[in-house]
Every structure is written in structure tokens, then in C-alpha cells.
Structure 1
Amino acid sequence: MSAQGKTGHLKRRIGPGLLTAYGVGVMVGAGIYVLVGTVAAQAGIYAPLAFLLAGLIAAPSALSYAELSTRIPEAAGEAAYVEAGTGSRALGLIVGLAIVAGGTVSAAAVLRGGAGYLTGFVDIPFNISVIGLGLMLLAVAIVGVLESLAMAAAFTVIEVIGLMLVVWAGWQAPVSPDFTAPAAPYFSGIGVAATLAFFAFIGFEDIVNMAEEVKRPERSLPIAIIASLLITTLLYVIVTLSAVRAVPLEDLAASERPLALVYEAGGGAVVVLSAIAVTAALNGVLAQVVMAARVLYGLGKRGGLLGLFRHAHPRFGTPVLATVLIGAVVIGAALVLPVSDLAGVTSTILLVVFTLVNGALILLKRQSPKAPFRVANWVPVVGLIFALLALMAFAFGAAS
């Protein structure tokens, strides 16, 4: 391999539209197809409120990411932000590795969920479906970022169509008795549900790690981060409202395929929504594998053992070694770990990272107020507080 092949740069091929589709796709693929029942079990008929609260928890951190992405447009975004804000190279490295771990675990959870939907209408062993889907996505991620994000954009369109079908079916179905005579809100349960729903918003932070492959990152990154969060929050609230309207809460909470129940209640064929759910899972896995590989690539410039990953393929322009490693771990974790454990670990990791990233922006604003894209000084403070409160609620929910 030539020297250029060993140290080659990533190629800037991505615009704001494709980047926004990537963000929406990874968020929609991160769990809405499997999380609705879990959230409804905690929040009851107020599950849509829990998703709205989860979006509000994520919003200040998303704005902080938007500013930081223009201050430090690097592949290992969070690691670079924390390192710049705190002056600690070691803490930045820990944060970067945590993001890699979070993305890998998240991808494993979604791959496992997608394989479950697939085996529901295709007669193949579960492990074979996990391995087959995982290897297919790994191949796409290696071939190129434009190809990966173009496939992700196509998947995103299918995902959104699927969610709109769920909304349509939910309003065609007879109204559930739980919806017509709702119980009084249980605010502690809604709070715990919001922290669980937070998993479905994982993805906007992935956008910043594409910075070295984006055209005009100082403009494209903030647009994609903010737009993707707004779009997915609206989708989630509408979909969850349709779900609790159409399906009794007990059935919704007990199902591993809750949106399929909604679609069936409205007269739709479950196989159609199951196929769309598989597509959503593929999108979520592909996006997380691409992201985690870019973080490893960005960490590689810090040298040491991680220097192995600072290699871009001369033809594909992708970090092949990092991508293969991430893909292999994702497939392995999906084969052995349950979705609930994977989702809980991912949410905890990311809430800790959000706390540190917001803290880093507070420090950077004091050092240098100017930035290509700026948010108010109170935004990272609120983001830090929200992340800490969500961590406390998550810990409370796990202990109870």
C-alpha cells in the first residue's frame, strides 16, 4: 500500500441534505420500532409526552454540538471538544473511546432487533440473520461514505413511510379503552420513560463525527443537527400518540414488535411493517458503524496503538481497518446480549458524554466567545443539567 493509502485523508463528499437524512435515519433506526412498548409500560397513555420530554432533554446538547462542530470540525468530535475545553488529552481519549463503545453497543442492539423482525416473516435462524445482515452492512460501510449515506438516505425514506403507515393505521383502528378513559399521570413513571425514550434520539451526535467528509462543515453540520432533531421529535410524538390510541397499554407493553400491533389494529399486513422495521434497523446499524469507525480514525492521529486506525483506503477513502473492527464487535455483541441491556448501556454512556461535552463548551466560551455558529451561554449549562438529571432518573429507574 502506498504512503497515501496509509495516511490518506477522508474525502469531502457530503452536503447538508444527505447529512440531515443520515441524522434522521440513525435516530429513527435507533429504537422507535421497539421502544414504544417499553416507554408505554412506564408512562402509560402519556408515552407521547415522554418522547417529547426526551427530545427536550436532547435539544440543548444538540445545540451545544452544533456550535462545537463549527469550532472544531474533526472526525473524533467529542474527544476533540473535551480535550480542547479541559486541556486533558487523557479525558478526551476516554470520551472518544466511550463514543466508540456507545455507537458499537447501540448498533448491536438495533441489529438484534432488526434480526428479530426479519425472522418473524422469513424462516431463517436468528443467528444467521444477525451475521448475514451485519456482513452486508459492513461491506457497504467499507466501499465508501457517499455510498453508505446514499443507502442510509434511501433507508430513511422507507423508515419514514413506515412510520406514516403506523400513524394512518393507528387512527383507522378502534379507539383503545385506555385512551378514552386515561388514568391520572404518574410523573415519576413519565420521567423514567423519558430517559428510556432518550435512546431513540441517539444519532444527532453522530453527525459531528462526519465533519472531515462534509462540504462546508461550518454551515452543513449545524443545519443537519438541528433539522434532524426537530424532524424525529415530531415523528416520535405522532407515532406514539397513534400507538396508545389504537392498542391497549398492556398489549403494547408486552410486545417486542409494538408498531406491528398498531399496524395490524388498523387492518394492515404485519409483514409489510416488519419488512420496514428491518430496513430501519439496517439504517441504524450502518449509521453507527460508519460513525464509530470515523471516531477511531480521528483518535488515530493521537498516535500510540490507536495510530493503526488513522488509515484511509486509497480507493474507497474510508477507514477500512476501523470499520472492520467495529463491524465484527457489533455482530458479536448482537449475538449474545439482549436489547434492553444494550439500550441501557448506550443511554448511560451518552448521557455521561453529553455532560462532559456541555461542560467543555462552557469552558471554551469563556476562553474564546467567537465561533462560526454560536448558541446562547445558557444553552450548554441547561444541557449539562438536563444530562445529569436524566442520568439520575435512569439510575433511579434501574434501582426501582
Structure 2
Amino acid sequence: MNLFRTKDIEQMRALVRASGMAKNLGVIDLILLGIGGVIGTGIFVLTGVAAAEYAGPAVMLSFIISGFACGMAGLAYAEFASIVPASGSAYTYSYAALGEIVAFIVGWNLVLEYTVTSSAVAAGWAGYVTGLFKSAGIHLPFALTHVPADGGIINIPAILITLLLSIFLIRGTKESTRLNRILVGVKLLAVFIFLLLAGPHVNTMNWQPFMPFGFSGVAGGAAIVFFAYIGFDAVATTAEECKNPSRDLPIGMIGSLIICTILYVIVAAVLTGVVPYTHLNNPEPVAYALRYIGYNIGSALVGVGAICGITTVLLVLLYGQARIFFAMSRDGMIPAKICKIHPRFQTPYLVTITGCIFVSLIAGFAPIGVIAEMANIGTLSAFFVASLGVMVLRIRKPDLPRTFRCPLIWLVGPLAVLSCGYLMYNLPWETWVRFIVWCIIGFIIYFSYSYKHSFLNK
């Protein structure tokens, strides 16, 4: 069995040219898409949790470590994107460099990442909206806003937001990016309002002790806050809808990552400087910090910005999920019948609908707290493999045209592999057990269906 057969790159480029998807995205769209996918749950929720339970004020170092790992992997992604401007992100890159079975497992883990993370974000969005209604004196029915495990029947707000955003995605990337631009503007405004109001109240005494849990706490915090960077991967899935993917994708990925990391570190510094880190273990630490120093109206404004921020994260994740499904179905890894482009909207509508159904079911009925941790290890494993793959391709096909070459590849590549591996090592062992079980299920599907139906097999 030829498990490590690779796809011909020229053939992949031909598939891209014949895909039929509209090319609407430019550099600004990609940077805003990256910001839309990254700035959200991480900055409005995870910052406080990571500070209180893992790193203390040194959570800003946790964000730098995670951002560094993403940056190293991002340079590898950028080189791949200039070689293979196709949907699928690390799945497609692995197929070109490391072989089919590796690509399938990477794609299988990316499906887990996007589906579970989308469900978690949709549930988080529902929680914020329910709280906003409660603040206005309107109490939504408990049974219709909570999953059965929490004593309810169904989480309707989580399902409705998933369906609404899926409609935007089906109608086209132009409409989706327009919505993303508006919501990104609102949430960046909310972040700047927080910094403007809270910045003058920073008390450096709150940064003492700086590392209450030691460096192991900082590393553990980095592994947890990596969840905040997951949307970064979605930019790489846009390749077939970019106007000039070889040039625009590297700028979009690296540019959005730098902007987001800077914002994360600044917000973490101000947040832990205003409120003692022991008080930050709550679902709305940024809004809580403003209430803590007496800005109730500012807190409400930041709450609205948080809802917008979480909405853009969900939009980008649903977009990325559909593109991973599309790439895998086009290769025969999953049923190829769902790999269809809408004749009017020029979007992969069947895979978008399929992904929406999965996310809605999980968000509407399942408790996703523990499962969401698996998203981190799924993404890190994809970054790990992609970073390895770009070095393999440099050896196997050194003369391949590359419009973007990863600088200092034999330094950056190993750093990307080691930093991603280090963050994976620092994840809880329960997460590793679930990850291994998920991979075993993936191997079963590959050998029972995907290997036989792969287009390379034909």
C-alpha cells in the first residue's frame, strides 16, 4: 500500500484554476480576516482565566510564547501558500510534501479543531447574549438557552447564530468579508476603549509576584492561550479565493499575527495591572476590570464589543471548516458528492451546510467545556507537520518555484517544530488521551474508506 503517495503540485495548481470559486480577497481582507479569527474569545475571556489559573501577570509572556510558535509556523505556511495556492491549509501542504496518510490525519485533526472550536465559540456567544438580555431586565427561558447537561433542553441562540453566519458564507466571500470588516472595527474599538479607560489605573504592585506559578505556569498558560490563535490558521484556507495568493497570503498571515500578538500582550499587561490576577477567573475579565475601577458604561460597551469579537471568530472558523471539508472531499478523502460550488454564489455551499449542521448539533445539545481543549492539540499538530513538511520539500524539490521563501529555513523550521512540540507537551495528559483516540478513529476511516476512494488511488 502506497500510504505516502504525494499529490503533483502542477496538478494541484490546475485544480485551483478550475475550482470555480470567486477570487474576491485582497491583502486588507486577509489581515482583517486574521484579526477577526484571532481577536475574540482569547482577548475577552482566556486572558483572565490563564492569568488566574496558570501564569499570573506573566500571562503576557504566555501570549508571546504562543505568538512565537505561530509566527515560526506562519513563515512555513507562507512558503507553502506561495507554492500551492489551494484551499486546505496544512492538509493540502502535507499532501504535497509528506504523503496521503499524513495529510489525512492532519485534515482529520483540522476538522476536529474547527468543528469543536466553532461549537465552543457559538456557545460562548450565546452566553454573552443571554447575559446582555439579563442586564436589560429580559430573562430568556433557561431551558432554551442551556444544553441538557446544564439542566436545559437546547441552546437555541448558539444554533441561530451558526445558521445566520452560514447563510452569509454561502452567499459569498464578498458579503462575509464586508460583515467581518464591520465587526472587526467594533471589537477593535472596544479594545481601545478598555485600554484608554483602564490604562491610567495600572498599579505595578499588581504585577508582584510576576510569576506566581513559576515558568512551568507560564508554559502551561501558553499552551492554553494558544486557543486564542486558532483562527490564524483559517487565513491559509482562503488561497483559492485570493486575488494574488502567492503575494497576499504571506502578508495577510504574518501581518495579522503580529498585530494580534501586540494587542494580546498590551491587554494582558493592563488587565493584570488594574485587577489582581487572583480576581480574573471569570467569563468576562475585561468588562469586569472596568467595573472594578468604576466604569460601568465602559463595561457595557466592552461587552457589546466582545459579542462582535466572538461573532467574527465564529464566522472565520465556519469559513475555515468549510474549506477543509472542500479540500478533503475534492481529493476523495470524504464523499466527493459534497464538493460542489454554487452556480450563482461561487462558494462550496454543500460543505458549508454540512459543517453548519455538525456545529449546530454540538453547540445546541452537547457540553463542550472539556472537549474544546482538544482544539489546541489538533491545531498544534497541524502546525508541527506543516513546519516539518516545508523542510522536506526544500530537500526533495529545491528548484520548485517559490514566490515567498521562508527566511533562514534551517533555523525557523526547527524552531517551529520545537516550539509547537513544546506547547503540545505542556497540554494536560487527558487531552493527549482524547487526541490519540481521535487519531485512531481517523486511521480506521482512512483505511476503510478514504484510501480506496482517494483520487490518487484511481
Which TM-score tier does this pair reach, normalised by the shorter chain? over 0.9
Aligned equivalent of 2:423: 390
Secondary structure, in 3 states, of the residue corresponding to 1:341? Answer: coil
Which is helix-richer, 1 or 2?
1
2:374·2:431 contact (CA, 8 Å) conserved in 1? no
- Give the residue type in structure 2 aligned to 1:201: Y
In structure 1, list runs of 5 or more residues that go unmatched: 1-6
Aligned equivalent of 2:447: none
1:169·1:265 contact (CA, 8 Å) conserved in 2? no
1:176·1:248 contact (CA, 8 Å) conserved in 2? no
Aligned equivalent of 1:54: 66
Q: Could you tell me which of 241, 263, 286 is aligned with 2:290?
A: 263
Aligned equivalent of 1:4: none
Aligned equivalent of 2:277: 249
- Give the residue type in structure 2 aligned to 1:162: A
2:27·2:252 contact (CA, 8 Å) conserved in 1? yes
Residues 119-158 of structure 1 aligned to structure 2 (within 5 Å): 119-122=130-133, 123=138, 124-125=140-141, 126=145, 127-158=155-186
Q: Could you tell me which of 39, 60, 69 is aligned with 2:50?
A: 39
1:169·1:264 contact (CA, 8 Å) conserved in 2? no
- Number of residue-to-residue matches in the alignment: 391
- Give the residue type in structure 1 aligned to 2:289: V
- Give the residue type in structure 1 aligned to 2:126: A
Rounded Cα–Cα distance in structure 2 between residues aligned with 1:56 and 1:273:
28
Do residues 11 (structure 1) and 22 (structure 2) align?
A: yes
Aligned equivalent of 1:368: 397
Do residues 302 (structure 1) and 313 (structure 2) align?
A: no
Do residues 324 (structure 1) and 353 (structure 2) align?
A: yes
- TM-score normalised by length of structure 2: 0.81
Please give the root-mean-square deviation of Cα atoms over the aligned residues, in Å: 2.0
Aligned equivalent of 2:264: 236
Q: Could you tell me which of 84, 89, 103 is aligned with 1:77?
A: 89
- Give the residue type in structure 1 aligned to 2:203: V
User: C-alpha offsets along residues 86-135 of structure 1, whole Å, 9 cap, x if unaligned?
Assistant: 1x223212222321221111111111111111111113342222122222
1:169·1:268 contact (CA, 8 Å) conserved in 2? no
Q: Could you tell me which of 232, 243, 251 is aligned with 1:215?
A: 243
Rounded Cα–Cα distance in structure 2 between residues aligned with 1:236 and 1:244:
12
In structure 2, list runs of 5 or more residues that go unmatched: 1-17, 146-154, 433-458
Do residues 111 (structure 1) and 118 (structure 2) align?
A: no
Rounded Cα–Cα distance in structure 1 between residues aligned with 2:369 and 2:60:
20
Secondary structure, in 3 states, of the residue corresponding to 2:240? Answer: helix
Q: Which has the larger radius of gyration?
A: 2
Aligned equivalent of 1:198: 226
Rounded Cα–Cα distance in structure 2 between residues aligned with 1:398 and 1:295:
23
Q: Deviation at 1:181?
A: 6.0
Rounded Cα–Cα distance in structure 2 between residues aligned with 1:358 and 1:274:
37
- Give the residue type in structure 2 aligned to 1:395: P
**Compared CA separation, residues 66 and 135, structure 1 to 2 (3 A):** same
Q: Deviation at 1:353?
A: 1.1
Do residues 280 (structure 1) and 309 (structure 2) align?
A: yes
- Give the residue type in structure 2 aligned to 1:291: G
User: C-alpha offsets along residues 294-333 of structure 1, whole Å, 9 cap, x if unaligned?
Assistant: 1111222213643123201001111111111111211222
**Which has the higher mean CA deviation after the structures are superposed, 174-183 or 327-336?**
174-183
**Which has the higher mean CA deviation after the structures are superposed, 389-398 or 174-183?**
174-183
User: C-alpha offsets along residues 203-229 of structure 1, whole Å, 9 cap, x if unaligned?
Assistant: 222111110000011000000011000
Q: Deviation at 1:137?
A: 1.1
Secondary structure, in 3 states, of the residue corresponding to 1:74? Answer: coil
- Give the residue type in structure 1 aligned to 2:198: G
**Which has the higher mean CA deviation after the structures are superposed, 19-28 or 175-184?**
175-184
Aligned equivalent of 1:377: 409
2:211·2:218 contact (CA, 8 Å) conserved in 1? no
Aligned equivalent of 1:165: 193
1:78·1:96 contact (CA, 8 Å) conserved in 2? yes
Q: Deviation at 1:265?
A: 2.8
Rounded Cα–Cα distance in structure 2 between residues aligned with 1:329 and 1:166:
35
Q: Deviation at 1:262?
A: 1.7
Rounded Cα–Cα distance in structure 2 between residues aligned with 1:276 and 1:252:
19
Q: Could you tell me which of 70, 89, 93 is aligned with 2:104?
A: 93
Secondary structure, in 3 states, of the residue corresponding to 2:370? Answer: helix
Residues 57-68 of structure 1 aligned to structure 2 (within 5 Å): 57-68=69-80
Secondary structure, in 3 states, of the residue corresponding to 1:276? Answer: helix
Identity in percent: 27
- Give the residue type in structure 2 aligned to 1:55: G
Rounded Cα–Cα distance in structure 2 between residues aligned with 1:95 and 1:180:
42
**Compared CA separation, residues 176 and 377, structure 1 to 2 (3 A):** closer
